Structure formats: C-alpha cells, structure tokens
Chains A and B, each alone.
Chain A
Amino acid sequence: MDYLILSVVLMGIGIYGLLSKYQFLKTVISIELITNAATMNFVLFASSILKPLGEAIFILAFSTDACISAIVLVLLVSISRKYGTCDIRELARLLHSENNDHETNNCEIIAKRE
C-alpha cells in the first residue's frame, strides 16, 4: 500500500469536485480535500522515516488551512446573503450584469455632462 497514491486519489477527487460542482459549499469541501491530500504527505512520509519534522509542518499548515476555510466561509455567507444564490455560474452572471449596469450608468452620466 502506498500513501502517495492515496494522496493522488484524494487530490483527484477534490479536483473533480472543483470542476464538476457549481455550489459554494462543494467548492469549499473540494478545497478541503485537496489541502488534506497535500498535507497528509508530510505526516505519512515523516512517520515512515521516523522524522517528526513533517508532523510539525503539518500542524502549521493545517492551522493556516482551518483559518482560511473559516474566512472563505464568512465571505461566502456574506456574498450569498447579498446576491441570494449559492450557484457560482448564477453569481458570475449576476456580477456580469451588475458590471454592465455600472458601465451604462457611467456612460449616461458622461453623456449628460457633455
């Protein structure tokens, strides 16, 4: 059994989730899977050659990862409250239309000034 292949498989599942799902929460879960797959290598390699440096790096990396996921979730909740959707495609469409509205408003203001 090989933990490197386990890490690759977990990363593949995470990338599949990132590419195929369009919900915010699925994106966060996929990112969690990818970071777990990446940091797992530190621990399992370190324990296989009996060196605790990898474990120390894992603890540092995992605490950062937890903080980042918390912040990402706060931003997601704020965005979903503002726009009322959790679908990334829908959000992209809304943001695009909002930008277009801003541009037309700016054009109107410039035209009025002239």
Chain B
Amino acid sequence: MIIELIVILLIIFAFLAVHFEEAVYAIGSLVCMLLLLALLFALNGAFFVAIFQLAVGVGTAALLFLSSEMLSEESVKKQTIQSLIAAIAIAILLSLPVIFLSVPIIAPSIPIVFTFSQALWDLRIVDILIQGLVILVTAVGVVFFFHEIKKEKGAS
C-alpha cells in the first residue's frame, strides 16, 4: 500500500514538474520526485542506490535552484487552481495503469551470485571510461565557456 501511494505521488510530482510555469515550483516538484524515487529504491532493498540518489539529487536540486534564479523570466503567466487540479487529476489517471497493470518478466535462469562491491569492481573499466568521458565533456564545456567570455571581452 505504501509503495502504491509513493508511486502515485511520484507521478503527480513528475507531472507537476513539467506543468508548472514558475521555475522554482517546477524544480521543487522535481526535488520531491527525486526524494520519492530514493524512498522507492530504499523500500525495494537498494539502500546504496537510495543514498546515492539522495546525495546526487541534493546537488542537482541546488544547481537547478541557482540556475532557475538566473534563468527565470519575469513575465510568467499565473496558473489557476483549476489548471493545477486538472494536472493532478491527469497525473492520478496516469498512475492507474502502473498500479493495476503488469508486464510478465522472465528472469534469466543462469544464477549469478555477486555482491554489490564485486559488481562495482567488475565494472571498473566502465567506470574509468565513463569518468574519462565526463572529464572530457567538462573540459569541452569549460573551454567553450572561457572562449565565449574571451570573445565578448574582445568585442567590447
């Protein structure tokens, strides 16, 4: 019952994150969705993932809040309570198939016995590749950013 309630709330907050015109409310809804997702992971026994989701979610939320202050436009049209209620109703309707339908999944018959740490160790090459990719993308972003600043200074 608790999991079903969490799923309904998760879909409502996900829909509101897209529906709200005001950036701060939209990000608030996204943060609530991330928290509920972490709770869902914890209830399914994935505690490491829940903690990781919380830690990264807090960082993402802080970043999004800061950028929303910089990017938000003043001329945002006000949303009525009717539209909010309609959005919540649509989200509840969307959550009904999740609760009442199910897709049969065939689990692989080969028994794989790992621990979490062993799985992380086995995936270390993927980890290194991904970290390399992240550092490369960060470097490209920083170079692009400083290039733009230099160009602006040159123009002025």
Complex contact B30–A29 (CB within 8 A): yes
Instruction: State the main secondary structure of chain B at its contact with A.
Output: helix
- B52: chain A residues at CB < 8 Å are 58-59, 62
Q: Can you name 25 A-B residue pairings with CB atoms under 8 Å?
A: A2-B103, A13-B18, A23-B73, A25-B27, A29-B27, A29-B64, A33-B30, A43-B46, A47-B45, A51-B112, A52-B115, A53-B112, A53-B114, A53-B119, A56-B116, A56-B123, A57-B123, A58-B52, A60-B127, A62-B52, A71-B137, A73-B64, A75-B145, A76-B71, A86-B73
**Any A CB within 8 A of the CB of B85:** no
Number of A-B contacts (CB under 8 A): 175
Complex contact B7–A86 (CB within 8 A): no
**In this complex, what residue of B is CB-closest to A62?**
B56
Q: Which of B91-131 contact A (CB under 8 A)?
A: 94-95, 97-99, 101-103, 105, 107-108, 112, 114-116, 119-120, 122-123, 126-127, 130
How far in angstroms is the closest Cβ of chain B from A11? 10
Q: How far apart sit A51 and B116, CA to CA, in the bound complex (Å)? A: 8
Complex contact B101–A78 (CB within 8 A): no
Those 8 A-B pairs whose CB atoms lie nearest each other, nearest first: A17-B18, A52-B116, A56-B119, A71-B141, A2-B102, A47-B44, A67-B134, A53-B119
Q: How far apart sit A16 and B11, CA to CA, in the bound complex (Å)? A: 13
Size of the A side of the interface (Cβ < 8 Å), in residues, is 60
Complex contact B23–A13 (CB within 8 A): no
Q: How far apart sit A70 and B61, CA to CA, in the bound complex (Å)? A: 11
**In this complex, what residue of A is CB-closest to B140?**
A71
Q: How far apart sit A56 and B48, CA to CA, in the bound complex (Å)? A: 9
Known: A2-B98, A10-B11, A80-B71. A60 touches B18 (CB 8 A): no
- B53: chain A residues at CB < 8 Å are 62
Cβ contacts A15-54/B at 8 Å (1 or 0 each): 0110011011110111011001000100111111101110
Known: A10-B14, A46-B46, A59-B48. A5 touches B26 (CB 8 A): no
Complex contact B23–A55 (CB within 8 A): no
